[in-house]
Amino acid sequence: MKNGPLSLLFHSLVVAFMLAPLVVVCLVAFTPTDTLQVPWGDYSLRWFRAVFAHGDMVQSFWNSLGVALVAATLAVLLAIPAGLAIARLDFPGRQALNGLLMSPLIVPHLVLGVAMLRLFALLGVRGSSMWLTLAHVVIITPYALRLMVSALAGSDRSIEQAAQSLGASRWTTFRRITLPLMLPGITGGWMLAFINSFDEVTMSIFITSPQTVTLPVRMYMLATESIDPMLAAVSALIVGLTAAVMLLLDRLYGLDKVLVGQQ
């Protein structure tokens, strides 16, 4: 069935609504003035230069990048064996374990943030970037795990059985058959985990210290104090970076599959 003109009008409005704030942020970033205006005619890169001259902002970017790179890698390393066990093996407590590993999608990040703040305070590790990274691992593992499990669920188990009946050891079967089957789940899961860690603000705001402040937390704190076009320039850079990762994800894996889940 075709969409009628009314449907298409509705659709255009929804698309405009979804894109409006992102487009406006990117336009405002190029303003030559000190105000948050969309520039007409005059464009300037002065606010982008201001971002790179802002030492705290640059430091926060590196903090975020480091945390997200390490956390996404650790999350995938945890999700490979866990996903294998959940998707391929049947054992008592499997459902409960799956529920626990998926719980960061259900327990609000805010609650996890204050809970970890308490833990870190008792352990005396507030401001440690290692513990911040571990906290990120917890909240991004569900994304990696979900892709891992769906990659395995969608693959044919009889190939593994064939390999074993032909005399391959369990390790060889894993290395030569199962791991390649999981590869799309691993790359897609890593990137999705990376983006979610890089964007995380609600939990991080409670457990970062002035030295470990991540980029979204820095932006949040700046935006609650004073708003100038420099924030628009940072936002535009983030939108650009996200778009680049998104295109990569789409090429490698199909973005609709990553976000909607495999059917």
* Site for other proteins, residues 108 to 127, rule: CB under 8 A: 108-112, 114-119, 122
CB of 199 to other proteins, least distance (A): 4
Spatial separation of the C-alpha atoms in residues 259 and 143, rounded to whole Å: 10
Q: 38 vs 183, which CB is nearer to other proteins?
A: 38
Estimate to the nearest angstrom the gap between the alpha carbon of 43 and the chain centroid.
32
The reply on whether position 183 binds other proteins by CB under 8 A is no
What binding mask, one character per residue, do residues 139-178 give for other proteins by CB under 8 A, x or -?
--x---x--------------xx--x-----x--x-----
CB of 55 to other proteins, least distance (A): 20
Q: Are 191 and 241 in contact (CB under 8 A)?
A: no
The reply on whether position 239 binds other proteins by CB under 8 A is yes
Residue 101 identity (one-letter amino acid): L
Give residue 3's region: left, alpha or beta (phi > 0; psi -120 to 50): beta
CB of 182 to other proteins, least distance (A): 13
Among 140, 231, 233, 253, binds other proteins (CB under 8 A): 231
Closest CA to 86 of 33, 147, 17, 165: 147
The reply on whether position 185 binds other proteins by CB under 8 A is no
CB of 30 to other proteins, least distance (A): 13
Closest CA to 199 of 71, 55, 111, 73: 71
- Dihedral over alpha carbons 233, 227, 58, 135 (to 10 degrees): -110
Spatial separation of the C-alpha atoms in residues 170 and 20, rounded to whole Å: 53
CB of 245 to other proteins, least distance (A): 7
Among 58, 100, 130, 179, binds other proteins (CB under 8 A): 100
Spatial separation of the C-alpha atoms in residues 255 and 257, rounded to whole Å: 5
The reply on whether position 18 binds other proteins by CB under 8 A is yes
Stretch that binds other proteins, among 7-15, 42-50, 65-73, 182-190 (CB under 8 A): 7-15
Estimate to the nearest angstrom the gap between the alpha carbon of 190 and the chain centroid.
9
Among 49, 52, 62, 103, binds other proteins (CB under 8 A): 103
* Contacts (CB under 8 A) with other proteins, residues 48-77: 77
